[in-house]
Amino acid sequence: MLSRRIIPCLDVRDGQVVKGVRFRDHVVMGEIVELALRYRDEGADELVFYDITASPEGRSVDRTWVEKVARVIDIPFCVAGGIRSVDEARAVLHAGADKISVNSPALERPELIDALAAAFGVQCVVVGIDSLRDADGEWRVRQYTGDPSKTQALPRRTLDWMIEAQQRGAGEIVLNCMGSDGVRRGYDLEQLSVARAICHVPLIASGGAGEPEHFRDAFVEADVDGALAASVFHSGSIAIPALKRYLHEQGVSMRVS
């Protein structure tokens, strides 16, 4: 049986891992390779690196650290951040990343998803979606969320975009529920459950993890394939080995050593 995945997310800015609250006020958490190794040792199933300032600054991800991580890490990792073309994606994959994740550039030019899937296969192509509920009750997509001064609210409904992304060749969807991000009150189970019903590829929950129970709820109630979190792991408030044992005891299929 396929295990559910625990995925620490490392937001990278200027070569270091940072964390902000609700995407703002970033503080440095540590060195990239050091943190990556720590999470590997603790039993993380996968890592995601977001070069959070690449897209707003109109540049692609810095590949030198991708290669450094690939040399030492023996679990899969995904890289995101301003990947705008097949050539840029190829460079990141050749540097050793297993998957690339696109978000703002795919919103600028949705055909990018088709091109990436054709070039590398859908299994390499993750589409990240930043979603926030508007006053009218609809979840809609946000763009350029790495920089609050450049973040844009789009008229595009989150669920419409999720369907289109899959049709174009997304092999996995990371749904970041911005309303719950960074405040540690739990994943947005309502939104994730609605998304799950229309998502036929692996779905990863992002935003809101604060307690081990939040992970259980995301797996059991929203049936997500993986749960992504950052600050609870960086701060040490949740230790991955204990979290995975807890989830295993709760009947969630886990890789435990």
Partner 1 sequence: MSVVLVDAGGTNIGSVRYALQRLGVDAALTSDAATIRTADKVILPGVGAAGPGMARLRELGLIELLRSLTQPVLGVCLGMQLLCAHSEEGDTECLGLIPAPVRRFVEAPGVRVPHMGWNRVVARREHPLLAGLGEDDQAYFVHSYAVPTGDWTLASSDYGQPFSAVIARDNFHGMQFHPERSAAVGAKLLKNFLDS
Q: Any idea which residues carry the catalytic annotation?
A: 11, 130
DSSP state of 13: E
The binder of partner 1 chosen from 37, 122, 163, 220 (CB under 8 A): 122
In this chain, which stretch among 29-37, 51-59, 197-205, 231-239 interacts with partner 1, using CB under 8 A? 197-205
Pair type for strands 16-21 and 24-31 = antiparallel
Residue 93 near partner 1 by CB under 8 A = yes
Determine contact, residues 145/107, Cβ cutoff 8 Å.
no
Shortest distance in whole angstroms from residue 183 CB to partner 1:
28
CA distance 105 to 195: 21
Residue 86 near partner 1 by CB under 8 A = no
Q: How many residues bind partner 1 (CB under 8 A)?
A: 36
**Residue 33 CA to chain centroid, in angstroms?**
18
Determine contact, residues 144/58, Cβ cutoff 8 Å.
no
The binder of partner 1 chosen from 18, 35, 45, 79 (CB under 8 A): 45
Structure tokens at 205: 């929950």
The binder of partner 1 chosen from 95, 116, 159, 243 (CB under 8 A): 95
* Cα distances (Å, whole numbers) of residue 109 to 52, 105, 112, 116: 19, 6, 6, 12
Structure tokens at 110: 């949705």
Residue 185 near partner 1 by CB under 8 A = no
Residue 64 near partner 1 by CB under 8 A = no
Return the H-helix or E-strand segment holding 206.
Answer: strand 203-206
In this chain, which stretch among 24-32, 71-79, 182-190, 212-220 interacts with partner 1, using CB under 8 A? 71-79
Shortest distance in whole angstroms from residue 244 CB to partner 1:
11
Residue 85 near partner 1 by CB under 8 A = no
In this chain, which stretch among 38-46, 49-57, 149-157, 238-246 interacts with partner 1, using CB under 8 A? 38-46
- Three-state secondary-structure class, residue 84: coil
Nearer to partner 1, 26 or 40 (CB): 40
Determine contact, residues 30/13, Cβ cutoff 8 Å.
no
CA distance 253 to 236: 23
Residues of the shown chain interacting with partner 1 in the complex, contacts defined by CB under 8 A: 1-5, 40, 45-46, 67, 70-71, 74-76, 90, 93-96, 98-99, 120-124, 171-172, 200-202, 223, 225-226, 255-256
